[in-house]
Amino acid sequence: MRNTCSLGLKPQPVDQAPQAAAIFIVGTFKNTPESHANVRQWCAAYSGLIRAVGHRAPEGQLRCVVGFGSSAWDRIFGHPRPDLLHPFIEYGPAERRAIATPGDVLLHISAQRMDLCIELATHLVAAFGNAFEIADEVHGFRHFDMRSIIGFVDGTENPSGQDALEATVIPDTQTVFAGGSYAIIQKYLHDMIGWNALSTEMQERIIGRTKLSDIELDEDTKPSWAHNALTVIEDDTGEEIDIMRGNMPFGRPGHGEFGTYFIGYASSPTPIERMMENMFVGNPPGNYDRLLDFSTAVTGGLFFIPSLPLLETLAQRPSLDEAENINAFKPALTVSHDGSLSIGSLKGESQHE
């Protein structure tokens, strides 16, 4: 069934294409009542901080997306919780593993100017106070004509407009978590010396597209282990399932470090997890993504992206430290006549995303 979400749900800007600059920050929270209270206060201040910084340079198109990991949600916000939020699943053998790394919160800040990203990141991190500890920070940049650091156009298959909204946002046929999304992140480091030693023809076979013109290889030429052959996921009717990729290149030339920060947004994490399983395990097993011979995933995390109204509501939620069961949430949470949960005008999330 086609997603029928509407803009009235006020989702975070998960359906937007990458911009010229981005900062990705993953952090953890101290497990204390004071820390949990700070995080909930931060949720109330979040939108105002973005408006204050963005107002200084509207042409910079400043955006931010915030998401929370499974453990943090349980500790800080309690029940109800997003149905499909769980710890990041690791895939693959030791030599090409999709690893899980610590992450309670994700900040994806983007703009047409890096100074806006830096300014907003400074305020958002400071607002967490002593609750926050950095786990990873990556500064991404636009590389020529939207190419990855390995030279191929990235984001070719991204949906746009209403299709992007439908691919990324839990629809309004669902309840409490309507307007929310899921994000999976992975930081990849590339062996640029090994990659650049390959012929252009071999690089194209590994990616599944031509390097200059960005045209997909025909089925007779493209190997079954090509990157884009393994990352196309279809539903039960054979229709391709879209996700929104916000990938950005990054690099530290003085350290010889070059990579791609993968971030995928979707209304369910399942399609992205199937992509990762195909890439790292193989489809069938052993027929893995040969790009992984030159790219190593060094981080991995799954986050739930609440809608803007839900994010404001989370500021009033007690944590598990302060509530023994769901009855503690009655001021913000009610049960409708059909048995579903609702927060204000929002209703609880279905099991089928």
Active centre residues (catalytic): 154
Assigned token pair, 72: 């943090």
> CA-to-CA distance for 72 and 125, rounded, in angstroms?
16
What sign does the dihedral 185-189-192-196 (CA atoms) show? negative
Assigned token pair, 41: 């206060």
Helix (H, G, I), strand (E, B) or coil at 250: strand
CB 308 within 8 A of CB 76: no
Helix (H, G, I), strand (E, B) or coil at 99: coil
> CA-to-CA distance for 20 and 6, rounded, in angstroms?
27
Q: Residue 143: how many CA atoms within 13 Å on its side-chain side?
A: 20
Residue type, 351: Q
> CA-to-CA distance for 258 and 15, rounded, in angstroms?
26
**Quick count: other Cβ atoms within 10 Å of Cβ 106?**
25
Residue type, 86: H
Own/partner contacts of 214-220, CB < 8 Å, gap of 24 or more, are 214/152, 214/153, 214/156
- Looking up tokens 């990873």 gives 136
Upstream peptide bond of 80 is cis (omega within 30 degrees of 0): yes
What contacts 3, CB < 8 A, 6 or more positions away? 166, 167, 169, 171, 267
Strand partners, 182: 266, 304
Residue type, 225: W
> CA-to-CA distance for 110 and 107, rounded, in angstroms?
10
> CA-to-CA distance for 47 and 57, rounded, in angstroms?
16
